[in-house]
Amino acid sequence: MSFNCFCIRNMRRFATWISSPPAVSSSRLMPAICNRFADKSAAVRRTRAFSNHFSTERVSRKLVRNGEEKKLVVCIEGNIASGKTTCLEYFSKTSNIEVLTEPICKWRNVRGHNPLALMYQDPTRWGITLQTYVQLTMLDRHLSTISAPVRMMERSIFSAKYIFVENLYRSRKMPEVDFVVLSEWFEWITENIAIPVDLIVYLQSSPEICHARLKERCREEEKIIPLEYLEAIHQLYEDWLIKKTSFIIPAPVLVISADSDLPTMLHQYEENRGKILGARNF
């Protein structure tokens, strides 16, 4: 089959799927788009990525699910200690908003093991272990049933990959084979499962401020984090969400400057309430 035929055939399948999408709440998995052609050629990959992006956009922004008005999903992003949890706690006081903080307690204790601490002690050995688990727990968060008109969640499966996995690999702490295996997992997930995100709120902060906050809060596993690590994470975030030069951005981005003290930050969150909650301003 020629490449053109292949593209047309898959676009037709998509048109059918879009006009009659599966009920996301009852069946989480989208059918594999082109499982008959599951080879790894660049052309096939590009087509699948495009198709998936297209379908996700349509599913998350335009369509209604099960006849109900679509729920809004907002991901709070930013460097370590940029204030994501504080932001979520602030909005958790608003009724009709469901807040999901990061599953960090799971990363610190999975059946008695602490992959977060292991990763900081020896990233080359344990980076893949932590990041595989982060990917699973974030996917689980994304796919859990939304119980309010608005969901706000800490981070996303996208930043785990585009920021943390990328950083481990670029800094040569993650072996290429680990990076490739994680990337295959990530690509399979994002190509075959609709992950709804409607808005990214980027808490933009300077690495120095984050470092100071990190020292203050003194989370045991993070005591050894140097400023350079936060600078690298910051740069990856800036490339992704501000310069838009690295990876696909799954939703529009709202940037909030996050270097100020707590009262000022809370004031800023209030000022941005309308933009964050969109039409659903409670």
Partner whose footprint covers residue 83, from Mg ion, ligand TTP, none (CB < 5 to 8 Å by kind): ligand TTP
Binder among 13, 28, 85, 149 for ligand TTP (CB under 6 A): 85
Among 78, 115, 196, 250, binds ligand TTP (CB under 6 A): 78
Specify whether 154 is catalytic. yes
Strand partners, 77: 202
- Tokens 């140097």 sit on residue: 226
237 binds ligand TTP per the rule CB under 6 A: no
Closer residue to Mg ion, CB minimum distance, 84 or 161: 84
At what angle are helices 176-192 and 42-57 packed, to 10 degrees? 50
Q: How far is the CB of 160 from ligand TTP (least distance, A)?
A: 4
Contact partner, 80, from Mg ion, ligand TTP, none, Cβ < 5-8 Å per class:
ligand TTP
Give the interface size with ligand TTP as a residue count (CB under 6 A).
18
- The SS3 of residue 29 is coil
Q: Which residue is nearest to Mg ion (CB)?
A: 85
At 1 the three-state DSSP class reads coil
Between 34 and 163, CB nearer to Mg ion: 163
Residue 59 · residue 261 · CB < 8 Å? no
Q: Kindly tell me which of 85 and 192 has the beta carbon lying closer to Mg ion.
A: 85
Part in contact with ligand TTP (CB under 6 A); list of ranges 43-51, 130-138, 261-269, 272-280:
130-138
For residue 178, give the 3-state DSSP assignment.
helix
Q: Which of residues 187-226 bind ligand TTP (CB under 6 A)?
A: 222
The entry of Mg ion, ligand TTP, none near residue 239 (CB within 5 to 8 angstroms by kind) is none
Q: Which of 77, 98, 102, 154 is catalytic?
A: 154
- Candidates 59, 72, 75, 80: give the one binding ligand TTP (CB under 6 A): 80
Q: What is the DSSP string of 30-59?
A: PPPTTGGG----HHHHHHHHHHHHHHHHII
* 256 interacts with ligand TTP by CB under 6 A: no
Is residue 139 at the binding interface for ligand TTP, with CB under 6 A as the rule? no
User: For residues 272 and 282, what is the distance between their CA atoms, to the nearest angstrom?
Assistant: 13
CA distances from 230 to 68, 71, 126, 129, 222 (A): 41, 33, 19, 21, 11
CA distance 109 to 49: 34
Q: How far apart are CA 82 and CA 203, in angstroms?
A: 6
Q: Which is nearer to ligand TTP, 83 or 207 (CB)?
A: 83
Residue for token pair 């939304």: 146
User: Exposure string (b/e) for 179-202, b if CB count within 10 Å is 16 or more?
Assistant: beebeebbbebbbebbbbbbbbbb
81: contact with ligand TTP by CB under 6 A: yes
Query: Does 85 interact with Mg ion (rule: CB under 5 A)?
Result: yes
Element (H, E) at 140: helix 123-143
**At 72, which amino acid appears?**
L
160 sits near ligand TTP (criterion: CB under 6 A): yes
Q: Which is nearer to ligand TTP, 18 or 117 (CB)?
A: 117
Do 168 and 232 contact (CB within 8 A), yes or no?
Answer: no
Q: Which residues form the interface with ligand TTP (CB under 6 A)? A: 78, 80-85, 102, 104, 116, 119, 130-131, 134, 155, 160, 164, 222
> Which residues belong to the active site?
154
